[in-house]
Amino acid sequence: MNFRFEEAIQLLARTPASLEMFLSGLPEGWIHCNEGEGTWNAEEVIAHLIEAEISNWIPRIETLLREGESRPFPPFDRFAHLDTSADTTLEQKLAAFKEIRRSNLEKLKDLVNNDKDLDLRGTHPEFGSVTLRELLSTWVVHDLTHISQITRVMAERYRQDVGPWQQYLSILKVRK
């Protein structure tokens, strides 16, 4: 096991500003391209990350710490953001993600007091018993998954344009 609480927080703290640096001010073509019907563009990925900050990570951590294994985590709708995100610009979403992540990491540091807490258990509605360590590790890898998704979606836009280089660009080989 490689998880370290402080190292996980350091990574989680960097994601919003990094994505803001990468995406803010980019033209529509980059922000709204996707991988075809039913796939997400970069702006929709940011909306999903915000939704997960609101409804997923902290509520699940709180349930785990308060209820232990006696009560499953609250449900999380992975598509909820598609209904609620139309009214804000990308820049507003990036700012909102930065703010809620900052505030959630403050909450996290208040909630988790020492390394022994990482072995505490809760109940995932599908997987059953999981540890706080597993949940926090997943929060980190979920960030990495979606940064990777954004780059893959954007690369897809130039699939034809790269011509014969396509065979050497590994990002064009994987699909969601």
**Interactions with a copy of itself, residue window 99-158 (CB under 8 A):** 124, 127-128, 130-131, 133-134, 137-138, 140-142, 144-145, 147-149, 151-152, 154-155, 157-158
- Which is closer to a copy of itself, CB of 106 or CB of 171? 171
- The verdict on 82 binding a copy of itself (CB under 8 A) reads no
Count of residues engaged in binding a copy of itself, rule: CB under 8 A:
56
Of 18, 84, 89, 92, the one binding a copy of itself by CB under 8 A: 18
Q: Which stretch binds a copy of itself (CB under 8 A): 19-27, 53-61, 82-90, 92-100?
A: 19-27
d(CA 103, CA 98): 9
Beta-strand relationship, 121-124 and 128-131: antiparallel
Cβ distance 50 to 57 under 8 Å? no
Residue ranges with strand state E in 26-94:
none
- The verdict on 3 binding a copy of itself (CB under 8 A) reads yes
Cβ distance 120 to 132 under 8 Å? yes
* Residue bearing tokens 């929709």: 44
Q: What is the closest distance, in whole angstroms, from the C-beta atom of residue 87 to a copy of itself in the complex?
A: 26
For the chain, the C-alpha Rg in angstroms (whole number) is 18
User: What is the distance in angstroms between the CA of the first residue and the CA of the last residue of the chain?
Assistant: 27
C-alpha torsion sign, points 75, 79, 84, 89: positive
Q: Which helix (H) or strand (E) holds 122?
A: strand 121-124
- Which is closer to a copy of itself, CB of 114 or CB of 170? 170
Which residues form the interface with a copy of itself (CB under 8 A)?
1-4, 6-7, 10-11, 14-15, 17-19, 21-22, 25-27, 29-30, 33, 124, 127-128, 130-131, 133-134, 137-138, 140-142, 144-145, 147-149, 151-152, 154-155, 157-158, 160-165, 169-172, 174, 176
